[in-house]
Amino acid sequence: MFRAIVQGAQYATRGKAMPAESEGTAAHNLRLAVVAELRKRREEIEPFLPGIAPDFDEYCKTMSHPMAWGGEPEMLMAMHVLGRPITVYHVSDRGLEPIVTYGEQLLAAPGAAAPVHLLWSGAHYDLLVPAAA
């Protein structure tokens, strides 16, 4: 998820992929910024974690590790960190459909940053890029 988000932000701002050798570092830096944002917004996010983790501090510690999978709380925090909307899609009988846009309010702002588009497969997030890319 973190790699897909940093690559999506790269596509949205520069129209091309981030070099592979930079992706891991950028994803890890985003992860650390997301954990810092979780801690900063503890009162806002902690009520939603009981079904995910019994202890907020332990949850943040776990999310700091590169192998921990991110989910909705991290997606929301990544939107805050990047100041850019993140739209998640899934494939249905009708094709590609949006599920949710984190930071939908950012879309209406003057000079709004282009959103990152991700595909949720049911187990993993992958980056969606325009066909021309």
What's the pLDDT tens digit per position in 50-106?
A: 777 778 999 999 999 999 999 889 999 999 999 999 999 999 999 899 999 999 888
Distance in angstroms (rounded) separating the CA atoms of residues 8 and 38: 21
User: What are the backbone dihedrals phi and psi of residue 119, each rounded to the nearest 5 degrees, phi first?
Assistant: -105, 125
CA distances 117 to 52, 57, 114, 129, Å, are: 24, 30, 9, 7
Please give the CATH number for the structural domain made up of 2-127: 3.90.70.80
Dump pLDDT digits (tens) for 33-42. 999 999 999 9
Cβ distance 83 to 48 under 8 Å? no
**pLDDT at residue 13 tops 70:** yes
Please tell me whether the overall predicted TM-score, pTM, comes out greater than 0.85 for this model.
yes
Domain ranges of the chain: 2-127
Contact status, residue 2 vs residue 73, Cβ threshold 8 Å: no
- Rounded CA-CA distance 17/57 in Å is 34
